Amino acid sequence: MSLEVEMTGKTVDEAKQAALKELGVDSSLVEFVEVVEPTKGFLGLLGGKPAKVKAVVRELSPIEKAEKFLGDIFKAMKLDIEIEKKESEDGTIFNLIGDNLGILIGKHGQTLDSLQYLSNLAANRGLTDNKVRIIIDIENYRSRREDTLRRLAMRLADKVRRTGERIVLEPMNRHERKIIHMALQDNYRVSTYSSGDEPYRKVVIELKRGGRRDYHERKDREE
């Protein structure tokens, strides 16, 4: 794809439209660095010159790179999705709005996490400093998932207390493991630690032993 073109037309607008068509990108990504108005010839007949523009595709910001990456994926999947962006303390949240988006969430949010990971790679490609963090959400799925994990942690902690048997949860990503640890960090009956290697690392919940935290818990608890 060309990054710079010069086009002419009867009017400036016509020249701009020709440039956009030639570049093949949205007008929001193009800067017109040179604009020459058309001139009329002698008595309006001879020697006139058409309008001319020089258009340059500007460099995308990291957020725009992530948005374009997602847009290309959705287009390939033939999904009509609107991206609603807002800033938070943790990064820029992309809230996806559309119909039947369960396919983009996947089991326990695994597909959503993959989209988020790849979007962050696209956004920060070539950057060494001032990297951005993109958080992708669908209909507040992430907050609902966190609530579910907290309730699960409390329920399993009670089961461990009653039975005395340790419980090993299914593999979770680092963020979800941290939610479990944080939910039970003040529980005086049970302790938690992480076991195994990524991507199969799991949270273990067990009874505290005489008030002493297990070595593995001190070593493996999520920071």
> Phi and psi dihedrals of 11, rounded to 5?
-130, 165
What is the spatial distance between Cα 174 and Cα 199, in angstroms, rounded to a whole number? 9
DSSP string, 110-179: HHHHHHHHHHHHHHTTT-SSS---EEEEETTHHHHHHHHHHHHHHHHHHHHHHH---EEPPP--HHHHHH
Residue 49 has pLDDT above 50, yes or no: yes
Whether 177 and 207 have beta carbons less than 8 Å apart is answered as no
Residue 19 has pLDDT above 90, yes or no: no
Q: In 3D, which of 188, 165, 183, 190 has the Cα closest to residue 222?
A: 183
pLDDT in tens, 156-172: 999 999 999 999 999 98
Pairing of strands 202-207, 190-195: antiparallel
Radius of gyration of the chain (CA): 27
Whole-structure pTM value: 0.66
pLDDT in tens, 112-158: 999 999 999 999 998 888 899 999 999 889 889 999 999 999 999 99
